[in-house]
Amino acid sequence: MSEALKVLTANDLAGGQVVFLSEAGWSDRYADAVIFDDAAAADAALEAARAATLTLADPYLIDVAAVDGLPVPTSYRERIRALGPTIHPDMGPQADGGVLVHALQQARGAARSSGRLGLIRRK
Amino acid sequence: MLIRLENDHFHTVEDRFTAVDDDAALTGDGAVLLSLTRFEADGAALLAAGRDVGVRIGPADRIEALAPVLPSLALVALEFPKYRDGRAYSSAVLLRERYGFDGEVRAVGDVQIDQAWNMVRCGFDAFETTVGPNAWAAAARRYRHVYQASADNRAPAFVERARVVRDAVATVG
Amino acid sequence: MFHYDAIDTAMVADRNAEFRDQVQRRLSGDLTEDQFKPLRLMNGLYLQLHSYMLRVAIPYGALTSAKMRALAHVARRWDKGYGHFTTRQNVQFHWIRLSDTPDVLDYLATAELHAIQTSGNCIRNTTSDPFAGAAAEEVDDPRVWSEVIRQWSTFHPEFTYLPRKFKIAVTASPQDRTAARAHDIGLVLRRNRDGRLGFEVIVGGGMGRTPYIGSTIREHLPAEHLLSYLTAILRVYNRFGRRDNLYKARIKILVASLGAAEFASQVDAEWDAMDRPRLDLPDIELARIRASFGLVPFRTMPPRSERFEAARSDPAFARFARNNVVPHKIPGYGIVQVSLKGIGEVPGDCSADQMEVLADLAERHGHGEIRVTHEQNLVLPHVPLDEVPALHAGLAAAGLATPNINLVSDMIACPGLDYCALANARAIPVAQAISRTFADPARAERIGELKIKISGCINACGHHHVGHIGILGVDKKGEEFYQLTLGGSGAEDAAIGHVLGPALGADKVADAIDKLVEAYLAIRQPDERFLDTYRRTGVGPFKAAVYPDAHQA
């Protein structure tokens, strides 16, 4: 049985770049994102983000699946948003590379969980 | 707060009109503001009694319906249910340009400072808003020039330009 | 070239001051995002998938070398070194910071550029013919009338909060290079039998989820009444267009629900009741605008250029000359089209370096003028044929000499899900795959004119409905799929395409296009374009090529 995993995202108000809620505040890197497996905690974080209107625009929660132990957004839209334009691998967060960026780039279609998350960054 | 535009001057005024709901009783002898429906029922009697009457028009109401009684009205209030709903601008222009209405045309509802110049240009001269009169005046006058003729009778750019040409010709002459 | 006078300069400066104030109010918390969004959109600033995007207007698609250099500077200083030319004669910068935007706009204003009304539910930038002033067959210069409309529609107090966005196109040639019949209003300039200038007024075209080809509501509106008549159309639309449903709010839905005849009679009733002389442009202002475009100092030259003809011995130049250069109204000149559809590249993208090369080349060979087309290409409208070989060499050195105008790889594609927050699927990678499939220029020429248009969602920014082959990206159970349509056209023979069959997976699209093309080559008659063959034969042979296993209907 798969868990309902969530990540909280928004755009930075002044800069516009995609940001994710991390343990240390808002980060430009999806790899830093806190993975919520508790719906109430995720909703509470979303409410707090909605109140942060001076720094954020359009916060929302995205669904994440545990693919080979890594948290991968289930929709291709959210994967592209987390990576940057697929036509310019040198632009956006994907330019930094790394295991998670690679996992997102490899995912196809609607990602489904294949076992549990191997990481400890769960809330 | 109610801001009036009078003699090119924006200032705060007390609202002398009492808004009367469709099912509320009519009392007192002051000026009243009615919906179009209520006006159709009771307007004639109120006017006959010498009361000042205003009508509140929703965005979907046809301003044409008011045409026959406009000369007897003191106020037409045009509703902005959301500030993105721009129908009331056309209603205001028609009131001023087509029907020559010279009473108060009031903007009510979602009235934001960013609409001040649109409203003034379309012929509104009263604004129910939380914005202060100085800020409102500054926003309404933000544009030093205008490109098109509208109900405020400001000279559009093409008239300004023609004037420059005419003056130049006069100087040469 | 047209230049701002003191009034135009003040208008843009006042708008930029207002926008700077609005941005400041948002950043300080005086405006909520919900309040700010329509205000920023009205000045072309979107929040897209990865960043803010600023859409800058290029009125009637006319740039000068100076303006092009200003765009290059914006790309380099505030973006990631490139810009994207759109189907609406705008240029988009995809990586702009909100906090930088007021400075970007002030800088653009120094080059007489702006982002006014490039989005929002208002009257947008007017589309015009990129060959204006150069095409032999035009009856008048459509830029003059586009400038008349630009001024009238800028900060129009009554028409800033319309039910939905509103797009006008002006063309003055029999060949329509503006997609006029797919606009909210298409204006086709003509002279009547008495020689009087007037507009065929076409209303209610558009794409999106309910595509329509516009209906003619007036055959010949005397040109001098353009502004009062436009006011009448917009007033009827502003009052009676639907506001309860975003997808039914365009004027096309109003025209379709009333019927074109009833809509026309409502417009006429409004127009008859107006004080037209107050609204219509006086002759003196029209003359001023006409004069402000100035005269290009054309030289007197023989119609045939020996240098141009001699250069044809180079096959690459010969191919460029055949596909990218068209006749000019002045003997000895050519109209040179610059493709932004390099094989495997992003349709419409142009780097800052390329913009500067183009600015230099236009100055050297083309009277400093550059035009933007709705098909996401550029045009140097006035080039002496003698200088085309040198221009070609300069373009080739910058990767801008792709000889594919109107050919299969000259595709329109919207930014799609690589950039756009509304998209359902990517469009650019599909264009790139098709482009590589047809990389052989000789084969592309054999195929001839073929317009492929790709949209990443039903909003149809990629004009797929009017593509000879249209491609629409959809999300099917979490996968990108693409639906093909055939038989559309955005030109003077405008038509909406028909769906070919079930949507295809992303990796199947280029191959399907290849099969459609082979089917066409097998059955075409002499001088038939792909579109003509489709119209003659119907969908049968094309459907069989892509879906061979489907049962006969």
Q: What is the pairing mode between strands C215-222 and C197-203? A: antiparallel
The H or E element spanning position B78 is strand B75-80
Task: Quote the number of domains for chain A.
Answer: 1
Report residue C411 CA to chain centroid gap.
13
- Rounded Cα distance between C42 and C115, Å, is 8
SS3 C245: coil
B78-133 tens-digit pLDDT: 999 999 999 999 999 999 999 999 999 999 999 999 999 999 999 999 999 999 99
B141-163 tens-digit pLDDT: 999 999 999 999 899 999 999 98
Whether residue A114 is contained in a domain is answered as no
Q: Tell me if chain C has a CB within 8 Å of the CB of B118.
A: yes
Asked whether the domain spanning C412-546 has the same topology as the one spanning C134-291, the reply is: yes
Beta bridge partners of C62: C371
At residue A37 the predicted structure's pLDDT band, cuts being 50, 70 and 90, is very high
Residue A112: predicted pLDDT: 84
SS3 C534: helix
Of A54, A58, A109, nearest to C479 by CB-CB distance is: A109
Across C379-384, average pLDDT: 98
Report CA torsion sign: B162, B165, B167, B173. negative
How is residue B94 annotated by DSSP? I
Beta bridge partners of B4: B11, B126
Q: Which of residues 277-336 of C touch B (CB under 8 A)?
A: 278-279, 281-282, 284-285, 288
Query: What residues contact C194, with CB distance under 8 A and at least 6 apart?
Result: none
Which fold does the domain C6-110 belong to in CATH?
Sulfite Reductase Hemoprotein; domain 2 (3.90.480)
Q: Which chains touch C (3 or more CB pairs under 8 A)?
A: A, B
Of B84, B142, B162, nearest to C14 by CB-CB distance is: B142
Whether residue A118 is contained in a domain is answered as no
Partners of C238 on chain B (C-beta within 8 Å) are 86-87, 89-90
- Rounded Cα distance between B132 and B115, Å, is 14
In terms of residue numbers, what domain contains A24?
Answer: 5-106
- Rounded Cα distance between A85 and C91, Å, is 18
Give chain A's mean pLDDT. 92
Residue C252: predicted pLDDT: 98
Whether residue A117 is contained in a domain is answered as no
Question: Could you identify the residue written with the tokens 């099917």?
Answer: C476
C489-531 tens-digit pLDDT: 999 999 999 999 999 999 999 999 999 999 999 999 999 999 9
The Cα of B52 is separated from the nearest Cα of chain C by a number of Å equal to: 28
Residue C549: predicted pLDDT: 84
Give yes or no for residue A1 having a pLDDT over 90: no
CATH code linked to domain C134-291:
3.30.413.10
Torsions phi, psi for C96 (to 5 deg): -95, 145
At residue B39 the predicted structure's pLDDT band, cuts being 50, 70 and 90, is very high
C99-119 tens-digit pLDDT: 999 999 999 999 999 999 999
The percent helix, strand, coil of chain B (3-state, each to 5) is 40, 20, 40
Residue C168 contacts residue C126 (beta carbons within 8 Å): yes
What one-character-per-residue DSSP string does C264-277 give?
HHHHHHHHHTS-HH
Residue A120: predicted pLDDT: 47
Of C39, C154, C238, nearest to B86 by CB-CB distance is: C238
Q: What angle do CA A63, A64, A66 make, to 5 degrees?
A: 150
Q: Thinking of the domain C412-546, which architecture would CATH place it in? A: 2-Layer Sandwich (3.30)
Residue A123: predicted pLDDT: 54
What the block records as the tokens of A31 is 């790899």
Question: Could you identify the residue written with the tokens 């011995």?
Answer: C313
Whether residue A119 is contained in a domain is answered as no
Whether residue A88 is contained in a domain is answered as yes
C63-74 tens-digit pLDDT: 999 999 999 999
Burial C121-133 (b: 16+ CB within 10 A, else e): bbbbbbbbbbbbb
Partners of C50 on chain A (C-beta within 8 Å) are 16-18, 81, 84-85, 92
Across C16-34, average pLDDT: 96
Q: Thinking of the domain C306-397, which architecture would CATH place it in? A: Alpha-Beta Complex (3.90)
Whether residue A116 is contained in a domain is answered as no
Written as one letter, the residue type at C553 is: A
Partners of A77 on chain C (C-beta within 8 Å) are 49, 417, 423, 475
The Cα of B162 is separated from the nearest Cα of chain C by a number of Å equal to: 7
Residue A46 contacts residue A8 (beta carbons within 8 Å): yes
The H or E element spanning position C531 is helix C530-537
The Cα of C251 is separated from the nearest Cα of chain B by a number of Å equal to: 14
Burial A28-39 (b: 16+ CB within 10 A, else e): ebbbbbbbbbee
A49-69 tens-digit pLDDT: 999 999 999 999 999 999 999
C260-272 tens-digit pLDDT: 999 999 999 999 9
Q: In what order do the strands lie in the sheet with B75-80?
A: B9-13, B2-6, B126-128, B104-109, B75-80, B53-57, B31-35, B17-19
Of C33, C51, C480, nearest to A76 by CB-CB distance is: C480
Residue C294: predicted pLDDT: 79
* Spans of all domains in chain C: 6-110, 134-291, 306-397, 412-546
Whether residue A115 is contained in a domain is answered as no
- Rounded Cα distance between C372 and B39, Å, is 56
Give chain C's mean pLDDT. 97
